[in-house]
Amino acid sequence: MMTPGRTSVDREDDTVRALSHLSKEPVVVIGGDAAGMSAASKIRREQPGRPIVVFERSAHTSYSACGIPYYVSGLVASADALVARSPETFRQKYAIDVRTNHDVTDVDIEGRRVRVRAPGEDAEFWEPYGELLIATGALPVWPDLPGGQANGIFGLSTLASGIAVHRYLDRERPRAAVIVGGGYIGLEMAEALVRRGLDVALVERAKEVMGTLDPDMGALVSAALREIGVALYLEESATGFETADGRVSAVVTDHRTLPTDLVILGLGVTPNTQLLKETGMALGDTGAIRVDERLQTSVAGVWAAGDCAESRHRVSGQQVHIALGTVANKHGLVAGTNIAGGDATFPGVVGTAVSKICEYEVARTGLQEHECRALGWDCAVATIESRTRAGYYPGAGVITVKLIGERGSGRLLGGQIVGVEGAAKRIDVVATALTAGMTAEDVVGLDLSYAPPFSPVWDPVQTAARRLVKAL
């Protein structure tokens, strides 16, 4: 005989059973760097008892890939300094079952399980999951060129690859290096190797280095590199590598042959999604995993975060692939919140990035001129030169600010900054203004801080905005 009481108990039993099912099958995270470990940590904070297993292919967790050039240059003394939290810390303090040197080789969506190869074993095992987070990151673009697999050619994306370069420098004592590709990593590594005393050349297909800037701004960075002695070969492409005894001995371009002892690839990264090819999981046009704003993939219960996943660009409205630590950390927090039963959305990116190249700080956000044109938007630009401090204050140095805005609406579309110390962080004002959908006029009206050690009375960003108002 059923009583209301009995029914209620049954329901409770069902709930307990459902929960125990959830808690039996762990959250599985593939990838133990920024996105994966941010998510795992968030789940742990929200759900202290929930089993979490992280499979990380390398020996390291939660390290600063952005710090690798400074470790290579010697500015940062040890690779350990780049590790925010070690696998041991996660295991002991956070009760997260982090398994390093474990390679996930397959994802079985139907069976809700992943296939894993443990270190030193030929055999693989299947690990079931309750929910799955894919945080496999990105891989350096490796050109399919003759000799491309020779020793002495390094891509840089993992701490292990940074350690490998460091070791190569210490053991092989190379005297010359060629950087192939002039993006952030290529340029930061060029500077690092100059600091280590190497002769450094850089080959870049485009007209100027740093293609995330417009060429007029990129030219300032090219000049900075030449100043510290980097030989730039612009509008030139690598076509192959010469080798001797299996080791790289020269980079061959479409114009010349550059003898070298070491090659660093700085051709950008590509989302690491090989694993998902057979799963039917949707990828975007960028090649990265398509996610909704809660960072769920096209498969319910499977999430993606960090360098392997897309983001929505808040200015263009398009899906983009931006492989940066800031995005990965935010992705991880959002995905972790949702996996833990919360409800968080990732608001998107505006494409902000910053780098220090030699004496210069370089920053960008929003859209470039060519991106605006590709969207068919009628844009105007304004570029101004100002000072980082009041002109009379010691240490005042040059800063160039470029702003892009949309004719008609007056809406700000993007900004780029190159300047000496104190210049670059101003990009955050532009990023915040872009996020708020501000016009150039709105930026002129902002109540930004001023004192002689910090700025001219009109902040350079506002001086550029004033010029942009006229140009619009």
Chain residues that interact with a copy of itself, rule: CB under 8 A: 34, 64, 66-67, 70, 75-76, 81-82, 314, 324-327, 329-330, 346-356, 361, 363, 365, 390, 392-394, 422, 424-429, 431-433, 435-436, 438, 442, 444-455, 457-459
What is the rounded distance in angstroms from the CA atom of residue 137 to the CA atom of residue 325?
A: 10
Is there a contact between 360 and 193 (Cβ–Cβ < 8 Å)? Answer: no
Q: What is the closest distance, in whole angstroms, from the C-beta atom of residue 354 to a copy of itself in the complex?
A: 4
Q: What is the closest distance, in whole angstroms, from the C-beta atom of residue 146 to a copy of itself in the complex?
A: 34
Q: What is the closest distance, in whole angstroms, from the C-beta atom of residue 348 to a copy of itself in the complex?
A: 8
Is there a contact between 271 and 307 (Cβ–Cβ < 8 Å)? Answer: yes
Q: Measuring CA to CA, which residue among 373, 470, 41, 449 is closest to residue 460?
A: 449
Closest CB to a copy of itself among 102 and 321? 321
Closest CB to a copy of itself among 113 and 364? 364
What is the rounded distance in angstroms from the CA atom of residue 332 to the CA atom of residue 6?
A: 42
Q: What is the closest distance, in whole angstroms, from the C-beta atom of residue 175 to a copy of itself in the complex?
A: 26
Q: What is the closest distance, in whole angstroms, from the C-beta atom of residue 229 to a copy of itself in the complex?
A: 21
Closest CB to a copy of itself among 71 and 377? 71
Strand order across the 176-180 sheet: 153-155, 262-265, 176-180, 199-204, 231-234
Closest CB to a copy of itself among 418 and 429? 429
Closest CB to a copy of itself among 107 and 193? 193
Q: What is the closest distance, in whole angstroms, from the C-beta atom of residue 344 to a copy of itself in the complex?
A: 9
What is the rounded distance in angstroms from the CA atom of residue 70 to the CA atom of residue 78?
A: 10
Is there a contact between 135 and 98 (Cβ–Cβ < 8 Å)? Answer: no
Question: Catalytic: 66?
Answer: yes
Closest CB to a copy of itself among 66 and 471? 66
Q: What is the closest distance, in whole angstroms, from the C-beta atom of residue 159 to a copy of itself in the complex?
A: 12
Please give the distance of CA 29 from its chain centroid, rounded to a whole number: 19
Is there a contact between 225 and 358 (Cβ–Cβ < 8 Å)? Answer: yes
Q: What is the closest distance, in whole angstroms, from the C-beta atom of residue 427 to a copy of itself in the complex?
A: 5
Closest CB to a copy of itself among 230 and 350? 350
Closest CB to a copy of itself among 192 and 250? 192
Write down the catalytic residue from 66, 308, 372, 379.
66
Closest CB to a copy of itself among 304 and 431? 431
Q: Measuring CA to CA, which residue among 256, 244, 252 is closest to residue 151?
A: 244
Query: Which residues are known catalytic residues?
Result: 66
